[in-house]
Amino acid sequence: MPDASIPIGQLARSAGCKVQTIRYYEQVGLLPPPARTAGAQRRYGEAHRQKLRFIRHARELGFPLPAIRELLALSDQQESDCAGADRIARRQLEAVNRRITMLTSLRSELERMLAHAHGKRIRDCRVIATLADHGLCSHEHHGTAASS
């Protein structure tokens, strides 16, 4: 394979993502536009594959696209300082830690709820009662919601 010989479907399989995701990354400027065949089909090379793997790996680690954009810019300037990348990763670690803390307290409330859910009728159901009355929950799980 000389270069610019990989069709989009093969690239998608090799990166573990969908074809549309690749086109989306191109659209938002994360991936540079590849060469095209005479019939306007995209053909990628090794450099694209590397970059896409980088993006997908960072996404799996939960980095948002703007952070990935910064990381890609940093990785292109081989001489510049590592502190920037460090700071971004540290920020991401903090975000992950915050999410873990919250999810852990959510889990314990859900477990508490289920452990006591022995009512046969809704009117005695602990699950419903807990949701209806915030006072019944012991832990602090306030702040932004469980997702993202």
What residues line the site for DNA (CB under 7 A)? 7-10, 12, 17-21, 23-24, 37-42, 59, 64-66, 145, 147
- Residue 41: left (phi > 0), alpha (psi -120 to 50), or beta? beta
Closer Cβ to its own copies, 38 or 148, answer by number: 148
Q: How far apart are CA 49 and CA 15, in angstroms?
A: 8
Residue 58 interacts, among its own copies, DNA, none and using kind-specific CB cut-offs from 5 to 8 Å, with its own copies
Nearer Cβ to its own copies (8/17): 17
Distances from the Cα of 18 to the Cαs of 44, 56, 105, 129, in angstroms?
A: 15, 11, 34, 43
- Shortest Å distance, C-beta 85 to DNA: 17
Distances (CA, A) of 52 to 25, 49, 70, 124: 9, 5, 15, 53
Provide, rounded to whole angstroms, the least separation between the CB of residue 63 and DNA: 7
Binds 1: which of its own copies, DNA, none (CB < 5-8 Å by kind): none
Q: Calculate the alpha carbon distances from 19 to 45, 125, 128, 147 in Å.
A: 16, 46, 43, 26
Closest approach, Cβ 7 to DNA, in A, equals 3
112 interacts with its own copies by CB under 8 A: no
Q: Which is nearer to its own copies, 40 or 147 (CB)?
A: 147
